[in-house]
Amino acid sequence: MVTIKDIAKAAGVSPSTVSRVISNHSRISKATTEKVKRIMEEMGYHPNLMAKSLVSKTTNALAIVLPRPAEELFQDFFFGELLRGILAHSTKAGYDMLLSAATSPNDEQETISRLVLGRRVDGVILLSARQDDPLIELLANHDFPTVLIGRTEGHDNIITVDTDNIQAAYDATLHMIKQGHTRIGFVVGEPNLTVSVDRLAGYRKAMVEAGLAINPEWIVDGEFLQQSGYRAMSFVMNIPERPTALVVIDDITAFGVLRGLNELGYQVPTDISLVSFNNIALAELASPAISSVDIGTYQLGYTASHLLVRRIQEHLTSQARNIIPHRLVVRESSIQDFHKRGN
Amino acid sequence: MVTIKDIAKAAGVSPSTVSRVISNHSRISKATTEKVKRIMEEMGYHPNLMAKSLVSKTTNALAIVLPRPAEELFQDFFFGELLRGILAHSTKAGYDMLLSAATSPNDEQETISRLVLGRRVDGVILLSARQDDPLIELLANHDFPTVLIGRTEGHDNIITVDTDNIQAAYDATLHMIKQGHTRIGFVVGEPNLTVSVDRLAGYRKAMVEAGLAINPEWIVDGEFLQQSGYRAMSFVMNIPERPTALVVIDDITAFGVLRGLNELGYQVPTDISLVSFNNIALAELASPAISSVDIGTYQLGYTASHLLVRRIQEHLTSQARNIIPHRLVVRESSIQDFHKRGN
DNA sequence: CTGAAAGCGCTTACAG
DNA sequence: CTGAAAGCGCTTACAG
């Protein structure tokens, strides 16, 4: 392991000078700079990042905290796309990303304390928000640079990047209403995630504004669906006044819905229309292709990293709440004509 | 920031003693241990991980190197599942994971040098193997603890965890042959990935052993497929002696194939049968459900982390090549009867 | 069972 | 433009 001292000795200068050359310090003669750089090259010098961190009190690393249970999350392309956006920026900004998963809630607290209070990272990105998340509490109390993808209340030192999920669900539902549907159902997700709460609210809002009734039986449990798409859909389709359209919490769930309907012999969109959220790559490859609200997932991730780095480097808390625009991508699953035209 | 010195002072002992309490050193009196622990709790002490790393010369962190272009990889559930397995183990073993993406090949070398030679991590997991990968070269030359998910040749200090892809493709092809197919095609992936090479080889082997001819036109370019599943499939289905079955490089590509066939009005498996690889969660939710070789993706990841940690902690190079067993999961896409029974 | 001292590899005022 | 010195927060022989 070649150190700064070795370089200094070989170059006939002091360690301080070598250090200054490395950090492009201004007042170093060109001659020295060149000589030192040449020798570093020759001797294969690489600065010890730990030593650097210790004295600079920065790590040039960020942590991504995966929502528990990490078991499921990767089943969703959504997180992959989010990671892609985060990494695109953080790599460019010169930050390493630490991926932190926790098995239990206690575990999670401990892991984060260790990383954050142990100064292993300079900032944290939380990938999802629960109601009254103790983790957010912890980070806010320490005023630790944090960006949450999602929303939270009552902590204005936590920067958030989010979709306007109420509006997004409103738009999706309105799309169905415009297609002439009046009996529109909603397939819910995990209830204590804010995203679930918001999307359901947007759906309700659109229905109410359009003067349409909501039959509680039209609200389908997405969790139940996972166990058996067949039975869940069988139940929905046998309600006397069954919905003719469904707004589905996310694309993966929509795949389950599609599958259940298929097994029952129903056609989408002829028998029932579908729209969902996130617009993962496969939504387009489903048969029929699934209409989905594109929430700019990559952009969410990229922006999260960007805001976090800015917060760290410039010590300025930017706007607390940042919204990434969404847009509905209409495909076969919600347009009757698509099929009839044999598209 | 409360340090070991602060604790020492408050507890009326030396910093050495505090350090020993933290690391559960044997010969420390119970009384001192308890007092120090209590005070650490009271004062909210958290060890500075960077300082610890500097002196112990270990980081308790591993790096995952994402294959370039990171742009695409997350589009595949496969990597998510792999990450899940890796994290499951590394978290348990007390290692943090660093996620490293590189934009360009040069960049990649530089990033890895920085992490590895800068002692930021104790080991590296490479997620995919190319022919003559310079990264493998670099890591092998430094004898740096490395696990490759895939295979490589001529570096016996690189531990590998892999699927027997030749056998897996052989099995998948044989499955088709047993269904009575004689004209079986293959949809290839990126040609310079070893996994592509191996799966194609396994397909050829099965065909040759069964005495079946391979028409070069039956080998379909998966890359071309991405641009237009429609045109790629249209080409295949219009070959005079068109294949009646396709072995597809992976599930995502199979979705593209399915989509192209659908647009052309062909039925799977009635008109053409399909089998693919990886068995991502969505394979089961496709319509029809896709037959796929389950390669134990989670297990691949878990094992990779396990072997790496063992290599680091016990300094023993385990078996260079480790194979995770695979098994074919048969679904509708390759069984005519499935459909006829209305399953 | 415990402490004083040296050191891990770097940075950064301070002085010249 | 450059160097000597102190220090970041920890660990670990060495000595008692």
Q: Do A118 and B47 touch (CB under 8 A)?
A: yes
Q: What backbone torsions phi and psi does residue A97 show, to the nearest 5 degrees?
A: -110, 130
Domain count along chain A: 3
Kindly determine whether the C-beta of residue B270 is less than 7 Å away from any atom of nucleic acid strand D.
no
What would the pLDDT profile of A149-165 be if each residue is shown by its tens digit? 998 888 888 999 999 99
Under the banding of pLDDT at 50, 70 and 90, the label for residue A340 is: very low
A115 and A236 share one domain? no
- CA-wise closest residue to B108 among B78, B93, B128: B128
Average pLDDT over residues A176-196: 90
What would the pLDDT profile of B28-82 be if each residue is shown by its tens digit? 788 888 889 999 999 989 999 999 999 999 999 999 988 766 555 555 667 888 8
What would the pLDDT profile of A208-241 be if each residue is shown by its tens digit? 999 999 999 999 887 777 666 677 788 889 999 9
pLDDT, mean over chain B: 88
Nearest to B118 among A47, A83, A115 (CB): A47
A109 and A240 share one domain? no
Q: Which two tokens stand for residue B18?
A: 């505090």
Q: Is A53 on the interface with B (CB under 8 A)?
A: yes
A42 and A143 share one domain? no
Q: How far apart are CA B319 and CA B304, in angstroms?
A: 12
- Give the relative orientation of helices B49-56 and A49-56 as an angle to the nearest 10 degrees: 140
pLDDT at A29 over 90: no
Question: Bridge partners of A161?
Answer: A149, A322
A154 and A225 share one domain? no
Q: How far apart are CA A125 and CA A64, in angstroms?
A: 5
Q: Do B255 and A285 touch (CB under 8 A)?
A: yes
Q: What local confidence, expressed as pLDDT, does residue A156 receive? A: 84
Element (DSSP H or E) covering residue A311 = helix A297-314
B36 and B97 share one domain? no
pLDDT, mean over chain A: 88
pLDDT at A205 over 70: yes
A195 and A336 share one domain? yes
Which of A124-128, A289-293, B136-140 has the highest average model confidence (pLDDT)?
A289-293
3-class SS string, chain B: CCCHHHHHHHHCCCHHHHHHHHCCCCCCCHHHHHHHHHHHHHHCCCCCHHHHHHHHCCCCEEEEECCCCHHHHCCCHHHHHHHHHHHHHHHHCCCEEEEECCCCHHHHHHHHHHHHHCCCCCEEEECCCECCCHHHHHHHHCCCCEEEECCCCCCCCCEEEEECHHHHHHHHHHHHHHCCCCCEEEEECCCCEHHHHHHHHHHHHHHHHCCCCCCHHHEEEHHHHHHCHHHHHHHHHCCCCCCCEEEECCHHHHHHHHHHHHHHCCCCCCCCEEEEECCCHHHHHCCCCCEEEECCHHHHHHHHHHHHHHHHHHCCCCCCEEEECCEEECCHHHCHHHHHCCC
**DSSP category for residue A241:** T
Q: What local confidence, expressed as pLDDT, does residue A182 receive? A: 95
- Domain stop point among A56, A76, A92: A56
Average pLDDT over residues B329-339: 82
B64-to-A80, B70, B259, B300 alpha-carbon distances in Å: 15, 12, 33, 14
What would the pLDDT profile of B256-282 be if each residue is shown by its tens digit? 899 889 889 999 999 999 999 999 888
Q: Is A221 on the interface with B (CB under 8 A)?
A: no
Residues of A in contact with B84 (CB under 8 A): 70-71, 74
Q: Is A167 on the interface with B (CB under 8 A)?
A: no
B145 and B225 share one domain? no
Nearest to B46 among A111, A117, A229 (CB): A117
B184 and B258 share one domain? yes
Residues of B in contact with A84 (CB under 8 A): 70-71, 74
Q: What local confidence, expressed as pLDDT, does residue B305 receive? A: 96
Q: Is B190 on the interface with A (CB under 8 A)?
A: no
A68 and A136 share one domain? yes
In A150-211, the DSSP E strands lie at 159-163, 184-188
A219 and A258 share one domain? yes
B224 and B107 share one domain? no
Under the banding of pLDDT at 50, 70 and 90, the label for residue A103 is: low
Residues of B in contact with A67 (CB under 8 A): none
Q: What local confidence, expressed as pLDDT, does residue A1 receive? A: 81
pTM exceeds cut of 0.85? yes
Average pLDDT over residues A181-204: 91
Range with the lowest mean pLDDT among A55-64, A289-298, B60-69, B313-322?
B313-322
pLDDT at B93 over 80: yes
Under the banding of pLDDT at 50, 70 and 90, the label for residue B342 is: very low
B289 and B260 share one domain? yes
The residue segments making up the domain with residue A102 are 61-163+297-327
What CATH number is attached to the domain comprising A29?
1.10.260.40
Q: What local confidence, expressed as pLDDT, does residue B7 receive? A: 92
What would the pLDDT profile of B271-328 be if each residue is shown by its tens digit? 999 999 999 888 998 888 999 999 999 999 999 999 999 999 887 666 789 999 999 9
Range with the lowest mean pLDDT among A85-89, A283-287, B106-110?
B106-110
What CATH number is attached to the domain comprising A133?
3.40.50.2300
> One-letter amino acid identity for B38?
R
Range with the lowest mean pLDDT among A63-72, A266-275, B121-130, B204-213?
A63-72
